[in-house]
């Protein structure tokens, strides 16, 4: 897979070429060209904001269909903790887990179980690496990608531990291989995901060489399948859960940071807020903190675009569900921690550069400033770029022209028609 796989796609026939998505995109990755939105994949961080805002439902996330289960001899479902927040009056996660088996999975492995192990590893890592404070959470793939392309000075603060889903995948695969004797490729590890960014993390992982996840299903597609199966499961619930309060808490904002058992942390959610925190962090405005948890979606993973429930209601449901659970039910066995640190170095990927060297950059930046002076600074979006400045940058990079600005075009036509009438009088 290429370095810049993204899972957000455009359904061209539904796109009206309006300006909603270009205005909402936090990385200015979208332009409207020839009445259709175009996503620049180098800039896209898979936050899903464009999917949320598009009134014509022309943006979609790529994920697998449940049919993918048929490709494997043995399958394991990896439910994200946010899945449990989707159901009304759920008192026992085992009902959901049993229903997943009834759906056709041979086994289930709770991502929240692995999350408890990540919490345990993180507590130790944070305590032992004061020089890297504040340490930034790496569970949200959109945040990690954003830091990689836009906040190079913060890369060294990233927590170099596999995300719970990746840890769950490798543990589930090992467990299944041991249990069935089947080779690796005949076992399908399928993640039930709240967001498209996780799909991207599978196809082009950061910090690790490859992911053991073989397929990703959307919570919103699994949800209607599970509802009737959950009713059927109530009378013969299997004990499949392996997580407690800490693990399930990871499903909404503050859960991961809270699991570090310190109050010296910050937890921010919603991509615009995340960017603000990263900007301030880069200017060293809060170097006293131990840990920073960042989630691209408002509310945390329960706010993912592939979920069905209102994120704040889902959060309440998770709190209720956790209430009588033990603090933690999964604990690190020896040797597990060593295998779940990042193996690959994360490097800065400057996706946006105005020139190949400083001389060219300075010349191009001057041209951008000049163009900005010409534009009306209305940021109307009619040219297809989100702001006048973005249009100026596009022109300098050779992917747009001045007349794309309707105000410049209007003046141009005005001038032309004046000259035409002058000519007319001459004849």
Among 343, 361, 403, 421, binds another protein (CB under 8 A): 361
Q: List the one residue from 348, 377, 378, 421 that touches another protein (CB under 8 A).
A: 348
Under the binding rule (CB under 8 A), the answer on residue 354 touching another protein is yes
> Would strands 187-193 and 215-218 be described as parallel, antiparallel, or unpaired?
parallel
Q: How many residues bind another protein (CB under 8 A)?
A: 23
- The piece of 83-91, 186-194, 258-266, 275-283 that touches another protein (CB under 8 A) is 275-283
Specify the pairing of strand 59-61 against strand 8-10.
antiparallel
Contact call for residues 182 and 176 (beta carbons, < 8 A): yes
Region class of 404: left (phi > 0), else alpha (psi between -120 and 50), else beta? alpha
Region label for 36, one of left (φ > 0), alpha (ψ between -120 and 50) or beta (otherwise): beta
Choose, by CB under 8 A, the member of 316, 365, 380, 406 that binds another protein: 365
Q: Are strands 215-218 and 36-39 parallel, antiparallel or unpaired?
A: unpaired
Give every CB contact of residue 293 below 8 A, 6+ residues apart in sequence: 137, 253, 254, 256, 257, 265, 266, 267, 268
Least distance between another protein and beta carbon 283 (Å): 5
Cβ proximity to another protein: between 156 and 419 the closer is 156
Among 104, 228, 326, 350, binds another protein (CB under 8 A): 350
- Binding segment for another protein (CB under 8 A), chosen from 37-45, 240-248, 256-264, 356-364, is 356-364
Q: How far is the CB of 347 from another protein (least distance, A)?
A: 11
Query: CA dist 289 to 16, 285, 417, Å?
Result: 46, 10, 63
Secondary structure letter of residue 194 according to DSSP: S
- On the 0-12 / 13-18 / 19+ scale of CB atoms within 10 A, 217 is buried
Q: Does 153 bind another protein (CB under 8 A)?
A: yes
Phi, psi angles (nearest 5°) of residue 87? -105, 145
Q: Which of 91, 279, 339, 419 binds another protein (CB under 8 A)?
A: 279
Q: Does residue 283 bind another protein (CB under 8 A)?
A: yes
Which of residues 239 and 287 has its CB atom nearest to another protein in the complex?
Answer: 287
**Nearest approach, Cβ of residue 286 and another protein (Å):** 10
284 is a contact residue toward another protein (CB under 8 A):
yes
Taking phi over 0 as left and psi of -120 to 50 as alpha, with beta for the rest, 297 belongs to beta
Among 282, 349, 379, 402, binds another protein (CB under 8 A): 282
- The CB-of-4 to another protein minimum distance in angstroms stands at 18
In 3-state terms, what secondary structure has residue 389?
Answer: helix
For residue 293 the two structure tokens come to 């948890």
With CB under 8 A as the contact rule, which of the stretches 15-23, 78-86, 227-235, 354-362 interacts with another protein? 354-362
Closest CA to 88 of 196, 223, 246: 223
**Least spacing, CB of residue 366 vs another protein, in Å:** 5
| Secondary structure of residue 341 in the 3-state scheme | strand
Q: Tell me whether residue 126 or residue 278 sits nearer to another protein (CB atom).
A: 278
Rounded to the nearest 5 percent, the helix, strand and coil shares of the chain are 50, 10, 40
Q: Using CB under 8 A, which of 14, 261, 362, 420 touches another protein? A: 362
Smaller CB separation from another protein, 332 or 346 = 346
User: In terms of CB distance, is 56 or 389 closer to another protein?
Assistant: 389
The verdict on 156 binding another protein (CB under 8 A) reads: no
Of 339 and 360, the one with the shorter C-beta distance to another protein is 360
Stretches 83-91, 237-245, 279-287, 325-333: which one binds another protein (CB under 8 A)?
Answer: 279-287
Q: Which residues bind another protein (CB under 8 A)?
A: 150, 152-153, 279, 282-284, 348, 350, 352-355, 357-359, 361-363, 365-366, 369, 393
């Amino acid at each position: 897979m290429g370095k810049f796989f993204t899972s957000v796609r455009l359904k061209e026939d539904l796109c009206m070429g309006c300006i909603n998505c270009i205005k909402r995109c936090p990385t200015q990755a979208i332009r409207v060209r020839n009445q259709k939105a175009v996503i620049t994949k180098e800039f896209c961080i898979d936050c899903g904001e464009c999917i949320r805002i598009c009134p014509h439902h022309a943006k979609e996330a790529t994920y697998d269909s449940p049919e993918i289960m048929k490709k494997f001899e043995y399958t394991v479902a990896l439910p994200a903790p946010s899945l449990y927040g989707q159901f009304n009056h759920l008192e026992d996660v085992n009902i959901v887990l049993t229903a997943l088996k009834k759906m056709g999975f041979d086994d289930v492995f709770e991502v929240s179980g692995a999350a408890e192990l990540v919490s345990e590893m993180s507590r130790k890592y944070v305590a032992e690496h004061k020089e890297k404070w504040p340490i930034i959470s790496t569970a949200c793939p959109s945040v990690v990608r954003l830091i990689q392309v836009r906040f190079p000075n913060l890369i060294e603060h990233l927590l170099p531990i596999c995300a719970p889903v990746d840890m769950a995948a490798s543990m589930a695969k090992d467990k299944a291989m041991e249990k069935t004797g089947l080779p690796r490729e005949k076992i399908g590890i399928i993640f039930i995901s709240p967001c498209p960014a996780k799909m991207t993390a599978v196809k082009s992982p950061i910090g690790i060489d490859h992911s053991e996840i073989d397929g990703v299903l959307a919570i919103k597609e699994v949800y209607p399948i599970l509802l009737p199966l959950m009713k059927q499961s109530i009378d013969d619930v299997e004990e499949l859960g392996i997580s407690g309060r800490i693990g399930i808490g990871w499903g909404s904002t503050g859960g991961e940071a809270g699991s570090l058992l310190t109050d010296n942390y910050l937890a921010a959610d919603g991509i615009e807020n995340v960017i603000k925190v990263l900007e301030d962090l880069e200017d060293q405005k809060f170097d006293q903190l131990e840990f920073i948890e960042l989630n691209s979606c408002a509310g945390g993973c329960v706010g993912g675009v592939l979920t069905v429930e209102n994120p704040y209601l889902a959060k309440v449901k998770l709190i209720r569900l956790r209430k009588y659970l033990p603090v933690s039910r999964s604990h690190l066995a020896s040797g597990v921690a060593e295998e779940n640190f990042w193996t690959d170095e994360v490097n800065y990927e400057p996706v946006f550069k105005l020139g190949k060297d400083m001389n060219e950059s300075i010349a191009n930046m001057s041209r951008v400033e000049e163009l900005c002076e010409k534009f009306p600074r209305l940021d109307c979006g009619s040219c297809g770029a989100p702001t006048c400045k973005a249009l100026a940058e596009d022109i300098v990079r050779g992917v747009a022209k001045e007349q794309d600005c309707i105000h410049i075009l209007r003046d141009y036509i005005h001038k032309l028609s004046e000259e035409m009438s002058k000519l007319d009088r001459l004849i």
